Amino acid sequence: GENVEQHPSTLSVQEGDSAVIKCTYSDSASNYFPWYKQELGKRPQLIIDIRSNVGEKKDQRIAVTLNKTAKHFSLHITETQPEDSAVYFCAGRSIQGGKLIFGQGTELSVKP
Amino acid sequence: EPEVTQTPSHQVTQMGQEVILRCVPISNHLYFYWYRQILGQKVEFLVSFYNNEISEKSEIFDDQFSVERPDGSNFTLKIRSTKLEDSAMYFCASTPGDSPLHFGNGTRLTVT
């Protein structure tokens, strides 16, 4: 069945460094890939998304890259700040209105 | 900005009891979802709902679960006979279609 694998499960960086989180997906029909940030006890909040017709998308310090051939996509956060500390989830979806399949999550810790 | 609202924020129930979790999706959205997140784990898909019927459900969504859209605004998740392992955060989400999912703040269900 559909599956999204995410790694690493935990990531610790120094403030100002970059952080990279990687995901792979199994369903070749997947065409939409959002990234969510979840702070402790809160709901997942969309931070960036990418569609399969685009290879890269950037929004200020956050960027996402997609390699459809290899079926993997990555989140890049530059100039990390302590407030970036949270759990980040990647996800994939194959049809309009279809379910999102989430990765296992990466707990990012940014040390001041 | 419109939001998905969920009530209650926390529900405590005894094993074997029925619970109903309530959600009000964003008004012009067409697709509705329930997700579950056990503490410290990933966000898991339960069920999607479109055009007044279930469009997809996961293996978790067994005969103990049901969903309803009793009127034009509410979307409910019912668990008929709760088990200890049903303890989790339950998130409702909605989308107009080919757009990001918007999540509610969740209901923390504790089964004792």
For residue A97, give the nearest of B42, B45, B95 by CB distance.
B95
Say whether residue A69 is in contact with chain B using an 8 A CB cutoff.
no
Residues 55-74 of B with CB under 8 A from A: 55-56, 58
Mean pLDDT of A42-61: 94
Q: Do residues B25 and B75 lie in contact, with contact meaning Cβ atoms separated by under 8 Å? A: yes
Q: What is the SS3 assignment for A35?
A: strand
pLDDT the model gives residue B95: 93
Contact B68, B76 (CB under 8 A): yes
In 3-state terms, what secondary structure has residue A82? Answer: helix
Average pLDDT, rounded, for chain A: 95
The mean pLDDT of B55-61, rounded to a whole number, is: 95
For B82-109, the pLDDT digits (tens) are: 999 999 999 999 999 888 999 999 999 9
Please identify which residue in the block is written with the tokens 């079926």.
A71
> What are the tens digits of pLDDT across the range B4-30?
999 999 999 999 999 999 999 999 899
Residue-wise burial string across B12-46, b where 16 or more C-beta atoms lie within 10 A, e elsewhere: ebeeeeebebbbbbbeebebbbbbbbeeeebbbbb
Q: Is B34 on the interface with A (CB under 8 A)?
A: no
Q: From CA A102, how far away is CA B87, in angstroms rounded?
A: 20
CA distance A104 to chain B (A): 5
The answer to whether the Cα torsion of B109, B28, A89, A2 is positive or negative is: positive
pLDDT band at A26 (very low <50, low <70, confident <90, very high): very high
Structure-token match 């997947």, residue found:
A30
For B87, other C-beta atoms within 10 Å of its C-beta total 17
Structural Rg of chain A based on CA atoms = 13
Nearest CA in chain A to B34: A99
Owner of token pair 């005894």: B14
